[in-house]
Amino acid sequence: MQEHGEPLWQLILESTEIEVDVFLSMRQYDDTTTLSLIAASAQATNMEVDAFLESFGFYWLTVFAPTDYGALLKLTGDDPFAFLRNLNVLHERISTSFLEFRPPVFSVIQVSDECIELQYNSTRKGLTSFVEGILRGLPTMLNVTMVVELMERAAVQQGEQSLFRITKAGAQRGRS
């Protein structure tokens, strides 16, 4: 993401007609703004929206978040399953800095010692691929090997729900 730089960002902003000052406040952006930026960014980088979001989620966790949220990330743990169990706590801490923040809710289901299922529930639609990118970035950030599988993805009346299976390297897949 970083390789595209400021000139492309300016083109994206111009194509969406979003004012730069909308990003100066510490608040969650309205979904129309978010979805416009996603669509324009995907088009500007010649990517499908889901591929762009997954790539951006990976970038966000491996490059951006360690710089801007490093101290908070360290509090979540250095094991991928501990990290995922602490996502709701992480979002609670972040919500103290942002106005009108509507964080997603994550539920962890222990399948075996080496496998969990992670349910993602959000009041916002269309961001499962971003979460998938974050999950795919987790092994890079924590220097571990694991497999991430998107099992289900569904739009629901109040947003979106998705289910991921995460297996540590070398572990048998499937329910025990």
In a domain, 40, yes or no: no
Phi-psi region of 173 (alpha: psi -120 to 50; beta: other; left: phi over 0): beta
Domain count for the chain, please give it.
1
Q: Which amino acid is at 79?
A: D
Distance between CA 93 and CA 27 in Å, rounded? 14
Residue-wise pLDDT for 31-85, tens only, equals 777 788 888 888 888 999 999 999 999 998 998 888 877 877 887 888 999 999 9
In a domain, 160, yes or no: yes
Give the domain range for residue 54: 50-168
Residue-wise pLDDT for 82-138, tens only, equals 999 999 988 887 776 666 678 899 999 999 999 999 999 999 888 999 999 999 999
In a domain, 88, yes or no: yes
Q: What is the pTM of this model?
A: 0.81
In a domain, 2, yes or no: no
Let me know: does 27 contact 95? Beta carbons within 8 Å: no
In a domain, 135, yes or no: yes
Name the burial class of residue 118, with classes exposed (0-12), middle (13-18) and buried (19+) by CB atoms within 10 angstroms of its CB.
buried
In a domain, 141, yes or no: yes
Here the CATH number for the domain that contains residue 56 is 3.90.1520.10
